[in-house]
Structure 1
Amino acid sequence: MCGRFAQYRSRDDYFDALGSDDETLVYDPEPVARYNVAPGTRVLLLNMRDEHLHLDPVYWGYGPEWWHKQPLINARSETAPTGRMFKPLWQHGRAVVPADGWFEWKKEGTGKQPFFIYHKTREPLFFAAIGKAPFDKEHGQEGVVIVTAASNRGMVDIHDRRPLVLRADAVAEWLSEETSPERAQQIAEEAALPESAFAWHPVSKKVGNIHNQGKELIEESAEAE
């Protein structure tokens, strides 16, 4: 699953990684500087409206009026395209969360050790997401969820689910209003980065407190040794 992630680069860095030539984009070189993004807060979300890319602050969580539990924060890629909860979002609310890595907690002894997972080359990541469009409007707790996939190989030792991270060159088609739900399923299967693209290391348990922020949260920690 994905219950906490980092989004610390600037808008410019994310746009440059996409190679976008959309002249309507609002560039900003100032780092976002969020090292401990938690559910229930607003996250910068890439989405397509009127054939142009937009980056909007959107509530992380999804709980429609008939849902009487805590808002959901993830959607399984295997069931989201057809399930009651997420099928409409898969059809008309595909989006992307630009990120720099995510956190997972691994059971060790009587406690849990947090790990930070990131691209081996430290390049930006693009999490597949779905939510209530249009994303420039307020929808209360009907916000956005991050799409997850099954973990394989070494990463499953940390957690059995992970964000579905799209290749940068697949983002535009995933977001396009002309892309069919069926084609979006193919993109999710064919354009997701494999576990071999990532690296990870243990980090401070301070990341467990959502009030803690700062670059030190993603740095390798000796606590696990």
Structure 2
Amino acid sequence: MCGRFAQAKTREEYLAYLAEEAERNIPYDPLPIGRYNVAPGTRVLLLSERDKQLYLDPVLWGYAPGWWDKPPLINARRETATTSRMFKHLWHHGRAIVFADGWFEWKQEGDMKQPYFIHRADGKPIFMAAIGSTPFERGDTQEGFLIVTMAADDNLAEIHERRPLVLTPEAAREWMRQDISDNEVQSIADDGSVTAGHFTWHAVSKAVGNVKNQGQDLTAPIT
């Protein structure tokens, strides 16, 4: 599961891992994005490929097609997204990447839930596989995007049974390509996933539970 994450660095600090400037149609912006508590239902900077160039669009985090009569979904399971009525066309035609510093997860500890911030141990950004309703630049208010999740592996399962499908920078760039086969997409998801051993985590303030709260202190460890 992934219900909150941090996207606080500058665009360039994320994009530098993915593509040369010639491959991007993205204006330079030196200011930090500064979002330490990104929540569903808000617009999030989503990276995708159009005409073999990368674009960055503010897209709604949540997906609810016209026939869906329930609240929007925010995650799609890797195991079923390729075949389900809900997600199949998004998987084939709407692949994108959400870059972030890490994500938050809540662990049941006795009678309470303790939030944790999970991030790469080497401090590098993470690139979460996403699928959504294209074209992303239209600013659709109904159909947005979802983060792809997978079963948590190794020690990450101690925090939560699900985790985002985090890809290596190389795999993330391939994931967004529109000229690859379904089999290639499957291989990218299988072989390009960053394993649990690359992550570390620490307990954080419960203030992250309020979507109105922002600030670097939300990702800082508590004793």
What whole-Å deviation, never above 9, does each CA across 1:190-223 have from its counterpart, x for those lacking one? 000000010000000000000000000000012x
Aligned to 1:11: 11
* Partner Cα separation in structure 2 for residue 16 and residue 137 of structure 1: 26
* Partner Cα separation in structure 2 for residue 165 and residue 142 of structure 1: 23
* Partner Cα separation in structure 2 for residue 31 and residue 175 of structure 1: 24
Aligned partner letter, 2:95: R
SS in 1 for 2:16: helix
Aligned to 2:82: 81
Aligned to 2:136: 135
* Partner Cα separation in structure 2 for residue 37 and residue 102 of structure 1: 9
Aligned to 1:207: 208
Aligned to 2:171: 170
Aligned to 1:35: 36
Count of residue pairs brought into register by the alignment: 222
8 Å CA contact 2:58–2:139 kept in 1: the answer is no
What whole-Å deviation, never above 9, does each CA across 1:160-209 have from its counterpart, x for those lacking one? 00000010011221111101222111110100000001000000000000
* Partner Cα separation in structure 1 for residue 43 and residue 15 of structure 2: 19
* Partner Cα separation in structure 1 for residue 39 and residue 26 of structure 2: 26
Provide the identity percentage: 54
1:118-197 maps to which residues of 2 (within 5 A)? 118-197=119-198
8 Å CA contact 1:90–1:181 kept in 2: the answer is no
SS in 2 for 1:136: helix
* Partner Cα separation in structure 1 for residue 181 and residue 64 of structure 2: 25
Moved over 6 A (4+): none
Give the drift of 1:138.
Answer: 2.6
* Partner Cα separation in structure 1 for residue 17 and residue 104 of structure 2: 22
Give the drift of 1:78.
Answer: 0.8
Give the drift of 1:51.
Answer: 1.4
What whole-Å deviation, never above 9, does each CA across 1:139-177 have from its counterpart, x for those lacking one? 222100000011021110110000000100112211111
* Partner Cα separation in structure 2 for residue 152 and residue 160 of structure 1: 8
* Partner Cα separation in structure 1 for residue 181 and residue 210 of structure 2: 40
Aligned partner letter, 1:3: G
5+ residue gaps in structure 2? none
1:28-67 maps to which residues of 2 (within 5 A)? 28-67=29-68
Give the drift of 1:20.
Answer: 2.7
Normalized against structure 2, the TM-score is what? 0.97
Moved more, 137-146 or 1-10: 137-146
8 Å CA contact 2:115–2:205 kept in 1: the answer is yes
* Partner Cα separation in structure 2 for residue 173 and residue 90 of structure 1: 14
The CA RMSD over aligned residues, in Å, is: 1.0
Moved more, 177-186 or 77-86: 177-186
* Partner Cα separation in structure 2 for residue 79 and residue 23 of structure 1: 31
Moved more, 11-20 or 197-206: 11-20
* Partner Cα separation in structure 2 for residue 90 and residue 138 of structure 1: 19
